[in-house]
């Protein structure tokens, strides 16, 4: 995974968890000792294991007790009836008590026709008494049934907070079920927490999801203090068998730094590393809460006109947050989807760093989906690392065309334009917005095909090799781990994955069908 073109070695030697040799088979066999185990790959493909370029690892701890409401091909959520059946099945199989909140994840309203979206009434028919909450695929909200709305005191009199969305019934102030952004966050904070013992058990199970996908370095991209404490307890107890990089959230930065001063960041301790600070300054484009300089063609999520989305924090606060992170000499990752959000970040970045704005900060714009060409020029000049999200071309391509128009939608996550400018970039799943499937990430970058079969921005497709770099060596560089991860070189960690086929050599549309056979850490 080094260089401009794919290169291959015949053999690899591993000793004490590190690569001791990479090269010709004859030379490798000279290192063979009495206890050496020789493995013949028999035509299978070995490469550096995958590095998660942004997701929410902590969510893996709770998925076992939630219903999979992803749309096809990843779940049963393509219809409202499928969602209800998935909830019923989970309630029975996981023995969810009647008085507990029954939860689902992955609801994608973008695939539903106008007027056909999931509402509280749809859930009430099957669950008239039990509180039910179905998480939106963006991770920025949920649909609540009437029992859940009552439990969390969401009524016609509830005022929609700044930066939030409470969808109301037509012609009424009564909530319809969907809450997004700042309207949902207080509810999320009230969800019941598992016991410490249950958390450690779930931590092990959560890692298995990532390891099964070939991932040996996971990204926890918005870590609240209690979640960080869970990860630290797990690390101390020796429960981590993959590496986890956590980014505490900006709103809890002061509290986090009291127990974890800046000098403790960027160092692994029992496989856990604090990677920097996360700031989020807009929402999701599919939920129409991303912040743009121009209006959505379809209005706002609650019927607003001339709707451009809103920043999640007052614009005057954004420069202060970014300066606070840089002043603490900590790495910054910042969630920006719309071009107005990216404008706000770039202005704040320049104001905070001045002449040092192009220094070796390895700041990352998370998602960076609707970036403009002039913004890409600044990103290139200032050595900012975008972590793009090309899976949106598949999951939400048609939605973005509808909401933003073909020109903007076709420039979504513009990897080829970034490559042409010499920008080093990553690419991610935003787990569990999408499943942790790194080969699907590569497939989406190479093909950019929507659910409906349309190529969303053919000019922005890139070769498979470059797409693989975005989930291996490029991530290693971003995380300042390029000396130990991301390529098959002597001295690096033996973080490896075995696939049934080589993604560079198969037909591009077949990349998503490649199987992970074994993950080595």
pLDDT of residue 48: 99
- As given in the structure block, the two tokens for residue 502 are 């080589």
- Selected from 3.50.50.60, 3.40.50.300, 3.60.21.10, 3.10.310.70, the CATH number assigned to the domain covering 72-190 reads 3.10.310.70
299: left (phi over 0), alpha (psi -120 to 50) or beta: left
Task: Indicate the DSSP class of residue 305.
Answer: S
pLDDT of residue 163: 86
pLDDT of residue 192: 82
pLDDT of residue 4: 85
How far is 322 from 301, CA to CA, in rounded Å?
29
For the chain, domain boundaries: 72-190, 275-470
Per-residue tens of pLDDT for the chain, all 521 residues: 778 899 999 999 999 999 999 999 999 998 888 888 999 999 999 999 999 999 999 999 988 889 999 998 889 999 999 999 999 999 999 999 999 999 999 999 988 877 689 999 999 999 999 999 999 998 889 999 999 999 999 999 999 999 899 999 999 999 999 999 999 999 988 988 888 898 999 999 999 999 999 999 999 999 999 999 999 999 999 999 999 999 999 999 999 999 999 999 999 999 999 999 999 999 999 989 999 999 999 999 888 999 999 999 999 999 999 999 999 999 999 999 999 999 999 999 999 999 999 999 999 999 999 999 999 999 999 999 999 999 999 999 999 999 999 999 999 999 999 999 999 999 999 999 899 999 999 999 999 999 999 999 999 999 999 999 999 999 999 999 999 999 999 999 999 999 999 999 999 999 999 999 999 99
How far is 188 from 211, CA to CA, in rounded Å?
27
CATH code that applies to domain 275-470: 3.20.20.140
462 in Cβ contact with 446 (< 8 Å): yes
Helix (H, G, I), strand (E, B) or coil at 188: helix
If one counts every other C-beta atom within 10 angstroms of the C-beta of residue 258, the result is: 9
Phi, psi of 462 (to 5 degrees): -130, 160
pLDDT of residue 115: 67
List, in sequence order, every residue forming a beta bridge with 107; answer none if it has no partner. 136
308 in Cβ contact with 294 (< 8 Å): yes
| C-alpha pair distances (Å), 483 with each of 80, 185, 473 | 48, 39, 10
How far is 116 from 459, CA to CA, in rounded Å?
34
* Predicted TM-score of the model (pTM): 0.89
Q: Which of 513, 488, 487 is nearest to 499 (CA)?
A: 513
């Amino acid at each position: 995974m080094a260089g401009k073109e794919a290169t291959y070695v015949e053999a690899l030697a591993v000793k004490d968890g590190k690569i001791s040799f990479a090269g010709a088979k004859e030379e490798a066999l000279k290192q063979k000792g009495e206890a050496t185990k020789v493995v013949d790959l028999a035509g299978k493909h070995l490469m550096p294991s995958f590095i998660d370029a942004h997701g929410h690892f902590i969510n893996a701890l709770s998925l076992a007790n939630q219903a999979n409401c992803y749309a096809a091909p990843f779940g049963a959520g393509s219809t409202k009836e499928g969602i209800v059946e998935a909830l019923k099945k989970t309630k029975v199989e996981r023995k969810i008590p009647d008085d507990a909140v029954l939860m689902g994840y992955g609801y994608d309203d973008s695939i539903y026709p106008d007027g056909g979206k999931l509402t509280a009434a749809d859930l009430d028919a099957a669950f008239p008494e039990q509180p039910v909450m179905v998480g939106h695929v963006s991770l920025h909200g949920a649909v609540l049934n009437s029992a859940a709305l009552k439990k969390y005191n969401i009524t016609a009199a509830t005022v929609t907070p700044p930066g939030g969305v409470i969808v109301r019934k037509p012609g009424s102030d009564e909530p319809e079920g969907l809450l997004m952004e700042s309207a949902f966050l207080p509810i999320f904070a009230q969800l019941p927490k598992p016991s410490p013992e249950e958390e450690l058990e779930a931590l092990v199970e959560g890692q298995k999801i990532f390891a099964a996908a070939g991932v040996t370095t996971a990204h926890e991209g918005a870590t609240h203090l209690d979640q960080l404490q869970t990860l630290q307890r797990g690390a101390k107890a020796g429960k981590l068998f993959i590496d986890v990089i956590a980014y505490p959230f900006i709103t809890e930065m002061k509290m986090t730094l009291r127990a974890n001063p800046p000098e403790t960041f960027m160092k692994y301790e029992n496989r856990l590393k604090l990677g920097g600070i996360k700031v989020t300054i807009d929402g999701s484009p599919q939920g129409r809460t991303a912040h743009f300089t121009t209006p959505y063609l379809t209005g706002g999520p609650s019927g607003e006109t001339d709707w451009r989305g809103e920043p999640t924090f007052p614009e005057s606060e954004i420069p202060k947050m970014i300066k606070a992170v840089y002043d603490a000499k900590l790495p910054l990752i910042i969630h920006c989807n719309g071009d107005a959000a990216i404008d706000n970040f770039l202005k704040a970045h320049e104001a905070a760093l001045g002449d040092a704005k192009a220094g070796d900060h390895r700041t990352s714009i998370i998602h960076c989906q609707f970036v403009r060409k002039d913004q890409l020029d600044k990103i290139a000049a200032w050595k900012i690392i975008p972590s793009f999200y090309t899976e949106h071309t598949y999951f939400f391509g048609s939605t973005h065309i509808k909401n933003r128009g073909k020109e903007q939608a076709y420039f979504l996550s513009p990897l080829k334009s970034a490559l042409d400018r010499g920008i080093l970039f990553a690419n991610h799943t935003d787990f569990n917005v999408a499943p942790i499937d790194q080969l699907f990430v590569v497939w989406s970058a190479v093909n950019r095909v929507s659910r409906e079969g349309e190529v969303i921005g053919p000019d922005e497709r890139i070769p498979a090799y470059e797409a693989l770099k975005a989930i291996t060596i490029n991530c290693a560089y971003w995380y300042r781990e390029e000396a130990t991860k991301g390529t098959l070189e002597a001295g690096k960690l033996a973080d490896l994955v075995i696939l049934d086929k080589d993604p560079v050599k198969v037909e591009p549309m077949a990349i998503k069908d490649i199987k992970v056979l074994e993950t080595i850490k």
